[in-house]
Amino acid sequence: MLLLGNLQREAGACINSGFHSQLEKDVLHYLLKGNQPIIFALARELKERIEPELLKPLEEGRMLIISPFDKSVKRVTEHTAEMRNKMMIKLADKITVGYSSEGRKLNALLKNTAKEIIIIT
């Protein structure tokens, strides 16, 4: 996954992720060293406090933080993650998934899209 993140960074590809898991956070760390656009999609309300490492890419206009939820949604749940994932699928031109196993909700969402999908296992 980190190799894929580095390849996407070098290619200048826009990355759209929730950056929720530790591995995704590690990928974000490497992406922030590049110049490619990043969309940080939250499964809860928008952040009230922005982490210091996100300020520069936000100020440069190469990072966008988005959420489909209002201020009443304070915590990430299975439902909010699913809604966020649906939003990210709609926004994406191509979809690359670092890991998904059979029977997971993400697999069901991906089966309902006609977009190009790459699953790395």
* Among 40, 72, 69, 71, CA closest to 54: 40
SS (H, E, C) 56-79: HHHHCCCEEEECCCCCCCCCCCHH
Q: Are 12 and 35 spatial neighbours (Cβ–Cβ below 8 Å)?
A: yes
Alpha carbon separation from 26 to 5, 12, 23, 55, 107 (Å, rounded): 9, 18, 5, 17, 23
Domains and CATH numbers, the chain: 2-119 (3.40.50.450)
State the pLDDT at residue 121: 63
Provide block-wise average pLDDT over 10 residues at a time, the chain (121 residues). 59 84 87 91 94 95 95 95 91 78 76 76 63
Task: Label the pairing between strands 94-97 and 15-17.
Answer: unpaired
For the whole model, what pTM was predicted? 0.83
